[in-house]
Chain A
Amino acid sequence: MAATAQDAVFAVLCFEGPDRYSLAGGLGSRVAGLTEALAGAGAQTHLYFIGDPEAPGMESRADGRLVLHRWAQWISRYYPHGVYEGEMQKLYDFSETVPGDLVEAVVRPAVAQGRRVFLLAEDWHTAEVLCRCSDALHWAGLRRHATLVWNANNPMGFERINWGRLGFVSNLTTVSRYMKHYMWGLGCNPMVIPNGIPAALLETPASDDVRRLRAALRGGPDTPALVKVARWDPDKRWIMAVQAIADLRGAGVRARLVAKGGIEAHQAEVLDRARGLGLRVGDVTVGDRPTARRLAEALRAAGDADVINLRGFLPAPVLQALYAAGDAVLANSGMEPFGLVGLEAMAAGALVFTGATGEDYARGLRNAVVLETDDPGEIVRYWLQLQRRPDLLARIREGARATAAEYSWPAVIEILMHRLDYLAANTGR
């Protein structure tokens, strides 16, 4: 490999980031994991993102190898409810002001040290700023020292992108073959670099935590607790999930659903449907700094609810414990560019029901249950069959953890570096 992480300087541009303020979905987890892994591999790494307005504007981590640039904080102070509140205001500032800073604070010093710079930009919010970075680098006479990569994690905002311009100044990548094929329709042929998960997720969740949560969930073959973590979005097939719970109960299995959504309006439709199906819905609000113990207490307070609607933020260790404690995780999306939740749940050794779009990592009955339809009956049938095949269940869980290990960030970084080495040497972008 010609390029090594130690020889390179990375600048990652993304709306989301590691701050709680900046975490809205899988994207924030992705860039947090990606940048930590790059820094861990020895690369000087900068992350420009819409950070917590109350946190320092710049923050060094990993012995200075990872520098967080919290951008547009003066705007975020007007929008306390997260990264996408005041989206247009933040987008303007990000597009206008990042390039100048990036050229002078990151690229020029790196070039002076004889290092190659890789600009990795994530999703539609960064398409414009990446083009402007290219212009600014040309203006500064530094363009040939930088390789620009724009990555699509999902098709949101694709209609806002000037593909001709973006493709001219940067190399396009995406996270799955499904997305690659999707983007063929736009006249692009992005390179696939898979998403990753932090290596820490591969560590077995604390057994005490898992035990507490299992006890609170009162799960088991006849009373399974199915966990679903996703935005309240029709693409995530929440309706299919609650219908499956109802159907399982109709089949004599007293299943319950632990639902952790976002703040999206689709929630009301899903929960109304659940009530309409005769399911009891209980809201559970977790506190500011939830632990597995506190979550278990909150779940117990939900009583006999068939659908437990978890509100609030759950940090990664608690989520991993919840995945492990549940009897299955429904990552049954109808359209998933990659499906990070499914992979994270597999890392916890969960039985994961995935969809069949961007989840390249999922292999039916080898490491997951891959659902090919939006029929709740498919979930029900698989569940009932697998209860009769504990050996297969065990193999799937084992396969899940092994697969997840292949997608840990250190492993993905190796793939990434090979891809970047090729791009730097051959595309001139």
Chain B
Amino acid sequence: MARYLVVYTVVHQPHRLKVPAQPIPAGATPADIERCLFDRALDRRYLGQVAAKCYRPAVALFHDLVQDGFRLNIGFSETLLDQLAAWDRPVLEGFKSLVRQPGVELIGVEPEHSFVFYLDLQRFIRGLRAYRQRLEKGFGVPVAVTDTTEMFMGSDLYFAVARAGFRGAVMDGRPWVMDWRRSTHVYHHGLPLRLLCRHTELSDDVGYRFSDRHWSGFPLMAPTYADWVAACAGDFVFVGWDFETFGEHHWADSGIFDFMRALPGELRRRGVEFLTASEALDRFGAGAHDLPLPAFNATWAGDGGVGFFLGNPVQQAIFQLMHHAYNQALLTDDPRLVQIAVRLMQSDTLHMTQWFGRSDDQAQVSAYFTPREWWPLGPDGIVWHLQQVYKNFIAACGPAAVAAATRRATGGESGDDGAAIEAGPPPRGTRPPAEGGRTVSPRRAVRPRGRAAPPAGQ
């Protein structure tokens, strides 16, 4: 029976695209181009709401729990940290304080929450490394284990993460990946990099089904869940959740905070203790088992395959536009434009169009996470404008691409593509914030329960 529980949460907010698409002035600077592409006011509005409902109370909750011996692993996207730095420093400081507690391990992630690993694996590797440095500097703690984007993992990603220099990585323990193996052991794929495999069922019991009144396990109480964990065969159970599970995906009145507060005691009564990711690797890493990783990536979203993000024609079209935007930006030799193109690759945009042409549960989740402010445009309007954002960017890069080509033709400054890659953070937009709106954290296909119905068709 498993005697340990490893809990991982990741905190993320996206850079939402500006919809309807804002036409970009001819000759606009990269800063103004970015201002036209991303809706900072919308981001700020949602951040404020998520902070109130989730970040503040959940940070306090976990702060209390770790004082009492609980272990927490936590990751932050760079987009989230940037938004907190801009608009909610107290919450940022709260997270920093939490991370510095004994028993809390900081986990790396792909900073932009992007699909860059599909387009440019070298940039992905550099991004992981650079972000690790930023995290270690900003939080003052080491980072040894990393997540990717949406917990994507496959054969190539394994080797990429290993090359980035991490000791361990997390992945989702989907049955189609694990085959006959249990997710409750440490694995490897031929290199020293160790893999912690998320227990899909037990993770989704909390992250997905907790407030589902139609679920046979409802209402899920801490003793029951502790029984399930303790009954698992293997070395340890690794569960992974959005941090927003606490107060946002499941509102406070669902009992999620009470559940989490009671869980450590119930687990201890059953002989289950807690580990950080590195502690799990210390304890079980030496005996890691070989795991043949698939050529197709696995993810913790949807059904566990990339189909959740690229399963419909609209997503595929946007994915193509991500490619074109990135390639066009590379041809400008302008690192600021390249950085914007990477930001345009964020997986959230594909998540927010998963509903197109579908009406199942996952589509409802996707529609729910699509900003309410977009829906007056209608489904076709949203799709059209999302694509237009990319087209506008590609067009706006045109003059810079011409200038770069001219420079190269005349033997002037010729900076190779790699030079652009090492750019610093892009300039920020300056639009004033707006008020109102609704709290969402559009990321995983976690069905929100205990809240108003998704606004599909608004």
Contacts and interface: CB of A to CB of B under 8 A. Distances in A.
B23 interface: yes
Given A79-B26, A101-B432, 17 more contacts: A74-B32, A74-B35, A78-B26, A78-B27, A79-B25, A86-B25, A86-B26, A88-B23, A89-B22, A89-B23, A89-B25, A92-B22, A92-B23, A100-B432, A100-B434, A100-B435, A139-B436
Contacts of B1: none
Contacts, number: 29
Interface string A81-102: 0000010110011001100110
Contacts of B269: none
A163 B26 CA distance: 31
Contacts of A111: none
Contacts of A101: 432
A78 B22 contact: no
A89 B431 CA distance: 15
Interface string A162-187: 00000000000000000000000000
A93 B35 CA distance: 11
B31 to A, nearest CB: 10
Contact of B25 (A78, A97, A100, A139): A78
Interface string B124-149: 00000000000000000000000000
A79 B26 CA distance: 8
Q: In this complex, which of A78, A86, A139 has the most chain B Cβ atoms within 10 angstroms of its Cβ? A: A78
Nearest to B376: A135
A75 interface: yes
B24 interface: yes
A345 B206 CA distance: 78
Contacts of B432: 97, 100-101
Q: In this complex, which of B23, B25, B432, B436 has the most chain A Cβ atoms within 10 angstroms of its Cβ? A: B25
A88 B24 CA distance: 9
B22 A96 contact: yes
Interface in A72-127: 74-75, 78-79, 86, 88-89, 92-93, 96-97, 100-101
Interface of A: 74-75, 78-79, 86, 88-89, 92-93, 96-97, 100-101, 139
Contacts of A74: 32, 35
Contacts of A89: 22-25
Q: In this complex, which of A79, A93, A139 has the most chain B Cβ atoms within 10 angstroms of its Cβ? A: A93
A75 B28 CA distance: 8
19 contacts: A74-B32, A78-B26, A79-B25, A86-B25, A86-B26, A88-B23, A89-B22, A89-B23, A89-B25, A92-B20, A92-B22, A93-B22, A96-B22, A97-B432, A100-B432, A100-B434, A100-B435, A101-B432, A139-B436
A368 to B, nearest CB: 43
Contacts of A86: 25-26
A351 to B, nearest CB: 45
B33 to A, nearest CB: 11
A369 to B, nearest CB: 45
Interface string B385-423: 000000000000000000000000000000000000000
Contacts of A75: 25
Q: What 7 A-B pairs come out closest when comparing CB atoms?
A: A78-B25, A89-B23, A89-B25, A88-B23, A92-B22, A75-B25, A100-B434
Nearest to A86: B25
Interface in B22-55: 22-28, 32, 35
Nearest to A135: B376
A97 B32 CA distance: 15
Nearest to B18: A96
Contacts of A88: 23
Nearest to B22: A92
B134 to A, nearest CB: 30
Contact of B431 (A78, A79, A97, A139): A97
B114 to A, nearest CB: 26
Nearest to B433: A100
Contacts of A78: 25-28, 32
A82 to B, nearest CB: 14
Contacts of B436: 139
Nearest to A139: B436
B48 to A, nearest CB: 15
Contacts of A92: 20, 22-23
Nearest to B25: A78
Nearest to A78: B25
A178 B196 CA distance: 77
A239 B25 CA distance: 36
A15 to B, nearest CB: 15
Interface string B427-442: 0000110111000000
Contacts of B431: 97
Contacts of A96: 22
Nearest to A97: B431
A81 to B, nearest CB: 12
Nearest to B430: A74
A79 B436 CA distance: 33
A132 to B, nearest CB: 11
A26 to B, nearest CB: 27
Contacts of A139: 436
Nearest to B28: A78
Contacts of B27: 78
Contacts of B23: 88-89, 92
Interface string B327-359: 000000000000000000000000000000000
A75 B27 CA distance: 10
A255 B22 CA distance: 51
B36 to A, nearest CB: 8
Contacts of A100: 432, 434-435
B152 to A, nearest CB: 35
A74 to B, nearest CB: 7
Contacts of A79: 25-26
B352 to A, nearest CB: 20
Contacts of A93: 22
Contacts of A97: 431-432
A96 B23 CA distance: 12
Contacts of B26: 78-79, 86
A101 B22 CA distance: 19
A74 B432 CA distance: 13
Nearest to A92: B22
Contacts of B28: 78
B47 to A, nearest CB: 17
Interface string B363-381: 0000000000000000000
Interface in B198-225: none
A345 B224 CA distance: 89
Nearest to A100: B434
B397 to A, nearest CB: 16
Nearest to B435: A100
Contacts of B32: 74, 78
